[in-house]
Amino acid sequence: MPDRQYYRSLHRSMAFTVVLVSLMPLALITLIGGYQYTEIYKGRVMAHLEEIVHKHEQNIDTYLLEKVGEIRVLADNMGVDCFLDEGKLENLHKSLMKRHGGGFVDLGLVNSYGIQVAYSGPFRLGLADYSQSVWFREVQKRTVYVSDVFLGLRGVPHFIIAVQFESEGKKWVLRTTIDFVAFNQLVENIHIGRTGLAFIINRRGEFQTKPRIDLSAEVPFLRELLQKATTDAREEGSFALKKARDMVVSTIAPNPLTGRETIFLSTPLKQGDWLLVYQQDSADAFSDLAQTRNLALVVLLIGVIAITFVAFYLSKRMVKRIIAADKEKEMMNEQVIEAGRLASLGELAAGIAHEINNPVAIMVEEAGWVQDLLAEGIDKNGNTDETKRALTQIRTQGARCREITHKLLSFARMIDPTTMELQLNELVEEIIGLSNQRTKYANVQVETELARDLPTIAASPSEMQQVLLNLVNNAVDAMEKEGGTLTITTKRDKDDVLMTVADTGCGIPRANMQRLFDPFFTTKPVGKGTGLGLSIIYGIVNKMKGEISVNSAVDVGTAFTVRIPSAAKTGVPSDENAEERG
Amino acid sequence: MSEMDIKVLLVDDEIGFTDVMAKRLSKRGMTVKVAGGGTEAIQALRGDDYDVALLDLKMEDMSGIEVLQIFKKMVPNLPVIMLTGHGSEEAAREGMQHGAFDYLLKPCEFEKLLEKILAAVKRSE
């Protein structure tokens, strides 16, 4: 029976296999499903954010166009005299303030020299000189101009909408300042999650709104982002450039301010002069995904723990059953070996019966002959001597019987399975002696090639006898019809002992080779073979950690080779100990 | 035919057995020819006529069954009684299948053997 280490290893490998087989699909499903889910979820979130940013951009554009439109209408329809009259200008300004909730901070008329000739608003900017202002130069080129945010003459952030118009052959500019705070609130109106933040930058990377947190550290990165977007669009051609002006561009990159991975969405405003940027921490934007992932990991972990526990529990139970089955099998094996021993003994007995019956027959006939002589008269001529001869013959034949029965008993008594050190050559000689009668009548010539330097082996003498006797019986059976040669060879192979029992008999058909060592498989006639011989040999040899192999060719012969580790290799108990046990 | 006229061919390789058996049968007036093996028995049958043959089943040179088959070819009417020291009757029955008159297991009762010899001779007549 295998040792505890074997069962421990079996337990571990079974548990490991069950865990592996169970977890592999679970892990694959989790990984593939998780990856797919993550990609789809991220895609959805990004699409959703792009949609929001796009709509927000439209709101801001609408806001600016609305303001531009108001000033345009005034410039085209009111006439320069109306603007030059400060009272009327003030009324117009108040009317705009009323309609737009204070969006228009002031309203002014600037002549072609850049001098504000009329003004309505909270600052004292009458006759202010804007001839050097950027917005004044730009409006002369474009007719309508929305400026960047700047501090200007008033020293507070603001931006200007300026519209150029002609009246009485002169060019005028109607300008208004937009309420920066209101515009800032409009821009910052999209506030998603904890970290969602929108702002506007111009082409130089200058903030056009005032973000609620200081983002100055992000400026180089934003400039780079802006430049890259522009370069990419230019490289892809004019169509791409136009498309880029309408589209929301998304980038996921580490935030230089926080170091965290951040989603940046940008879309152009004011015909590409400004860029609306929306940024949000990835972790914040994908927080639901993280929660789902954590939940999946917890479920996976619970699954792993449950599978591992079940695998170990089940394999432990299975190993217990295997141990019980092995014990049962070992008991069965012992019983089969014993049955086989008796069976081989039976085969031997049949041969020995012939051996005994012949001398017994002689004794019976000699006794009858003496009776014949006595009936005739013991004193008749020569009868006394004949009687003496007959008695001597009876004694001789009796001694012959005694020798045979002693041999048989010595074999039958050896049923002890205790392993001890024994010399295989001696056993071979003994078995040849026992099988002498069988081989003689089967016309089988026995040859031996026994190695002189054969090391001893660790085996039970009775079991080893059984191995040898079964092999010899099989060999003789194979040659029974036509006779032949039985060759028993022993030799040393490193630390092993090799014993070959070869015959020149009928051989084993290839079809039977596979089943040769199966219990109860026999090709002998009913009642002649039990089919246990070779399975017993296999069991015994296996128990000794040996091997048995067979070479056979039909009508040529068969050779069984048994490899048994030497006593030195297996570390057999010494003879002394064996004797103590005996 | 009386016992006195019977010619017996006794075939067995066990000299101790053929020795004493020949003496006992001779004592009863039979003429006994002993053959120590199959080959010798076939030669004996070629050289003379016999009323009955006692044939051992297991011999070193040939098996009793082989000798029986040859006997049956040479003298089909010769009654053959098989003798076997083998523990089982199986082999002896095999002899019956090959045309033996009867069989006896060794050791056998001498009287029974005589009965069978007489019965065999009577039938062959």
CATH code where residue B42 lies: 3.40.50.2300
Question: In A163-237, where does DSSP find H-type helix?
Answer: 180-187, 219-235
- At A580 the pLDDT is 38
pLDDT of residue A113 exceeding 80: yes
**Is any Cβ of chain B less than 8 angstroms from the Cβ of A357?**
yes
Tell me, what's the ipTM? Answer: 0.92
- Residues of B within 8 A of A476 (CB-CB) are none
Q: How far is A355 from chain B (nearest CA, A)?
A: 7
Q: Which residue has the higher pLDDT, B80 or A575?
A: B80
* Cα–Cα distance, A559 to A552 (Å, whole number): 6
- At A409 the pLDDT is 67
Q: The domain containing residue B41 runs over which residues?
A: 3-124
| Nearest CB partner across the interface for B23, out of A353, A357, A369 | A369
pLDDT tens profile A367-401: 999 999 998 888 887 889 999 999 999 999 998 88
* Cα–Cα distance, B52 to B25 (Å, whole number): 12
Percent of chain A with pLDDT over 90: 27
Q: Do B20 and A365 touch (CB under 8 A)?
A: yes
Cis-peptide, bond into residue B107, ω within 30° of zero? yes
**Is any Cβ of chain B less than 8 angstroms from the Cβ of A443?**
yes
Mutation target to probe the B interface, by most B beta carbons within 10 A, among A345, A348, A354 is A354
Burial of A457 by CB count in 10 Å (0-12 exposed, 13-18 middle, 19+ buried)?
A: buried
**Is any Cβ of chain A less than 8 angstroms from the Cβ of B39?**
no
Q: What is the mean pLDDT of residues B20-27?
A: 94
Give contacts of A 365-424 with B, CB under 8 A.
Answer: 365-366, 368-369, 372, 390, 393, 396-397
3-state secondary structure of A515: coil
CA A487-A491-A497 angle, 5° bins: 115
- At B33 the pLDDT is 96
CB pairs under 8 A between A and B: 68
**Is any Cβ of chain A less than 8 angstroms from the Cβ of B66?**
no
Q: Domain count of chain B?
A: 1
Mean pLDDT (chain A, rounded): 83
Domains of chain A, earliest start first: 78-183 (3.30.450.20), 188-285 (3.30.450.30), 416-582 (3.30.565.10)
| Nearest CB partner across the interface for A366, out of B14, B20, B106 | B20
Q: How many CB atoms lie within 10 A of CB A385?
A: 9
| Nearest CB partner across the interface for A440, out of B27, B60, B85 | B60
* Cα–Cα distance, A412 to A410 (Å, whole number): 6
| Nearest CB partner across the interface for A349, out of B27, B60, B87 | B87
Closest to B64 (Cα-Cα) out of B10, B15, B107, B108: B10
pLDDT band at A490 (very low <50, low <70, confident <90, very high): very high
| Nearest CB partner across the interface for B16, out of A350, A397, A443 | A397
Question: What b/e string do you get for A266-297 counting C-beta neighbours within 10 Å, with b at 16 or more?
Answer: bbbbbeeebbbbbbbbbebbbeebeeebeeee
Mutation target to probe the B interface, by most B beta carbons within 10 A, among A345, A348, A360, A362 is A362
**Is any Cβ of chain A less than 8 angstroms from the Cβ of B16?**
yes
Q: What is the mean pLDDT of residues A176-186?
A: 85
